[in-house]
Structure 1
Amino acid sequence: MRRFGVERTSGKKVRDVGMRRLRALAVLPLLASLLASCGDDEGSGPRSINWYNFPDDSGALQKAADRCSQASKGRYKIVYNKLPRAADGQRQQMVRRLAAKDDSLDILGLDVTWAPEFAEARWIREWTGRMKQQAIEGTLRVPLQTSTWKNKLYAVPYNTNTQLLWYRTDLVPEPPRTWAEMLDMAARLAEEGKPHYVEVQGAQYEGLTVWFNTLINSAGGSILNATATEPSLGPPAVRAASVMRDLARSPAGDPSLSNQMEDQNRLAMESGSAAFELNYPFVYPSMKANNPKLFKNFRWAPYPRVDAGRPSRPTIGGIDLAVSAYSRRPDLAFEAALCLRNRENQLTAALEGGLPPTLRALYQEDALVKEYPFAADVLAALESASVRPQTPAYQNVSIVVSHTLSPPSGIDPESAVDTMSDQISDALQSKGVIP
């Protein structure tokens, strides 16, 4: 008879039954392990490719992941993993996991300043051969610079970004061509009691470094030398710092300048208190939605020049896609990364996510031009744009710049450039204490 699942028998039969059960129990964990690993075997279904990127509220990135998964015809499935919203949090999470050789990371969405650091640490793979050729074909030249370190391609540009000058035609019928012209226009508007502020990123953060980088490049200089081994700065840096100080001390300077980032600039413009704004294209649909009346007079123009004889060189932003050195499926990861930034997916990211594309041909796409009538101006800005210093020590360099130039109203141009030169030199040599 059986009682409560226990087989009542005697002698040898009891021992045989017990041994069979013990052997069966011992085999179960092994079977479970084998079954779990079968999901990674060839022909057993799509293998997961983990894509880590910034959080996207528009849904454009998830659409790209779904499209590419379907296009692979079952060979892989892209899993879109959202990183923290802040760039520092994104970098911190990836750095920690890569330092631990985490093989669950496949495709990495890198800020445009991270490729040299990640490449030098051997955390990402070089793009070579056919994959490299596909990555660079039709891609804008300046965004490709952000993906390159020591003449090797370590990522593929996914999207880019650049600033334009935004202004109100009811206050200034024609936009200024230079910073000096803009400050003069603002001063006249202030005398007339009209909105006159110039909104720009003056808080002590990455945006302040970007502002300075744009100005120094527009003045014919750069923060680092061509080999990124020592600071360059010099007279162009003094000129750039002077422009920042002059704005902060003029009627054009918003009293909140030293605390303002991109979104505060947008809100100030939408509230009607400003005449000019240096910002990214996201401000256009925002103004259209939030202040339709003011939107009727909201226009754009090229970023102002530092000197009339030199073109402006606004600093680009964006995200580059790299393949982790520890990925278990690098071949599929390279293929998937190319798919994620193909023509269809970049167009969706532009129309639904507001992310300017890195493929030149898309700037003539009717759908993009209709949604963004300033597409040609963005393309022109990208053609002459500048990139932030390409160095593994970029984080430290940026901290030095933003710390030294904050607040803009307190800048002593000559002294500030000397301080930056000394501290950047220390940062590049891993010496000294970062402010």
Structure 2
Amino acid sequence: MRTPARLRAALGAAAALGLLLTACTGGGSGTAPRPTSSGGGEIVVASGLDVTGSDGVRQQLIDAWNLTAEGREHPARLLELPGDADEQRSQLLGSLQSGSADYDLVNLDVTWVPEFAQAGLITPLDGSVDLGAGSDFIPSVAGTAMWKKHVYALPFNSDVGLLYYRPDYLKAAGIDLGNYPSAGTDWQQLRNIIQELATTAPKGYEQGWTTQLASYEGLTVNAVEAFATAGVPLTDADGHYVADPVSLSRGLDELHSRTAYALPAALSSKEPQSLNDFAAGRTAFLRHWPYAYRLLPQSLPAADLAVAPLPGKAVLGGQDLAVSAASPRAAWALKLAEFLTDQGSERCLLDAGFAATRNSAYDDSRVTCPLPHASAPPSASPSPGATTGEGSSMPTDDQHRPQYAAGTLLPALTSAVQRPRTPYYGAFTQALQSVVHRWLTGTGPQDTDKVAAQLDTALRRALSGK
């Protein structure tokens, strides 16, 4: 946000509040020193694209830091990296491995933390940051910032799979919305509901649900959710492979049972395509991330949109802030990370459409977002051809939080599972995608046991670093 003069006083007060809240909630065990490199110059924060749009909430928080006394002395700049997640990861790895001081604070996808930590590219924060059971951070989310019981980052914004649905379609089929959805709804019950929709859905409806099954990270997420629901772990806490062909076959059966009643386009869909198919009415259910809760009201009336926990297990996503091991401004980079993840900042992230990483953002009425424009409409929207609900906006509760935050989003985050924690995550996800996508699309072997054996070989090799 490029701050006009009349907002500077408000943002200055907001930033001061943020620093006060950090002082009240932060702190470590005191067993290790904080980073001490405190050179001058601009603090550069490297990050992927902000889904809340240009000059989105991340930029607004950086601007708020720059208006504080510490921020005026050590200003920060947000640098959004181009390309997709794999390209961003490669750029960050290349820079940090070279010992470059181009980036001081890096916003890492949660699956990258073990790799960067194992390689010594980010600074250990034990003793500087408290992510323990008594902290304000959601425990499941806090786990994404750790590797081998050491803290390497601060949870910035989280993510979790949710199930969006069309109440108008369900009502037309005579389905009692008083009994659906609930946290106990499973995939078989969802399939039964989809079968009931076949004869009552309106023109344009094609199939029951959609998700992201193109050969990219979305497919990995959907597969891990199916495996976890079937009780199939892939690695232990240290990233060692623990599955086998028999258990993998069980997980593949669970995934296949879901795709049998998915929109055919799901096999080539990423997040934007699946969002558009749902908004256009081609399906009644959508597996997507929390930011869709902000986008969909632009295309659907409030009565035609609802969200529930994902049946079975849901996977965590999100990003964590880590201090570059090569930064000459490491001490100030950590102070900035603490500011960006304090209670007030996390409430701003929640209001803007992200999943906040602190419990207090969801359940403490004293915690408010100090930024005046954190809830401005995003620049992105579903497809122009989708049904339009002009003038609609994200539903909020009496505390001006997203209406689903406390009752749906927070429980989903609390019970979510992580993808495999391993420094070889890049090799793991590529191996899984290669085998599973060919199986789902019919371009590879179709016998489930044979596919499971092939997948076992591929994952065993990938997770051993070969």
Partner of 1:301: 308
Structure 1 unaligned residues grouped into runs of 5+: 1-39, 306-312
Conserved? CA contact 2:315–2:419, under 8 Å: yes
Superposed CA deviations along residues 248-291 of structure 1, whole A, max 9, x for unmatched, are 33xx2212121011221111111111111111122223221123
Partner of 1:214: 225
TM superposition shift of 1:182:
1.5
Q: 1:340 to 1:135 in 2, by over 3 A?
A: farther
Q: Secondary structure at the match of 2:332?
A: helix
Q: Secondary structure at the match of 1:256?
A: helix
Structure 2 unaligned residues grouped into runs of 5+: 1-36, 369-395
Conserved? CA contact 2:38–2:332, under 8 Å: no
Larger mean Cα displacement after TM superposition, 59-68 or 172-181: 172-181
Partner of 2:402: 372
Does 2:287 match 1:288?
no
TM superposition shift of 1:374:
1.0
Conserved? CA contact 2:239–2:423, under 8 Å: no
TM superposition shift of 1:136:
8.0
> What is the correspondence of 1:255-404 to structure 2 with a 5 Å cutoff?
255-292=264-301, 295-305=302-312, 313-352=313-352, 354-364=353-363, 369=397, 370-376=400-406, 377-404=408-435
Conserved? CA contact 1:225–1:232, under 8 Å: no
CA distance in 2, matches of 1:388, 1:265: 22
Counterpart amino acid of residue 304 in structure 2: N
Conserved? CA contact 2:140–2:416, under 8 Å: yes
Which residue of 192, 204, 209 corresponds with 2:215?
A: 204
Conserved? CA contact 2:315–2:417, under 8 Å: yes
Which runs of structure 1 show a deviation greater than 3 angstroms over 4 or more consecutive aligned residues?
A: 72-75, 130-136, 173-176, 191-196, 233-237, 365-371, 409-413
Partner of 1:70: 67
Partner of 2:146: 148
TM superposition shift of 1:133:
6.2
Conserved? CA contact 2:235–2:243, under 8 Å: yes
Q: 1:216 to 1:41 in 2, by over 3 A?
A: closer
TM superposition shift of 1:85:
4.6
CA distance in 2, matches of 1:412, 1:191: 33
Does 2:95 match 1:60?
no
Conserved? CA contact 1:231–1:421, under 8 Å: no
Larger mean Cα displacement after TM superposition, 171-180 or 327-336: 171-180
Does 2:416 match 1:416?
no
Q: Please provide the CA RMSD for this pair.
A: 2.4
Does 2:236 match 1:239?
no
CA distance in 2, matches of 1:99, 1:164: 36
Superposed CA deviations along residues 61-94 of structure 1, whole A, max 9, x for unmatched, are 1221122233243431111111125211211111
Which residue of 71, 76, 98 corresponds with 1:100?
A: 98
TM superposition shift of 1:53:
1.1
CA distance in 2, matches of 1:187, 1:416: 29
CA distance in 1, matches of 2:416, 2:448: 24
TM-score (norm 2): 0.75
CA distance in 2, matches of 1:95, 1:317: 20
Conserved? CA contact 2:122–2:322, under 8 Å: yes
CA distance in 1, matches of 2:324, 2:246: 40
CA distance in 1, matches of 2:246, 2:364: 41
Larger Rg: 1
CA distance in 1, matches of 2:317, 2:351: 18
Larger mean Cα displacement after TM superposition, 192-201 or 63-72: 192-201
Counterpart amino acid of residue 403 in structure 2: P
TM-score (norm 1): 0.81
Aligned length: 377
Partner of 2:236: 225
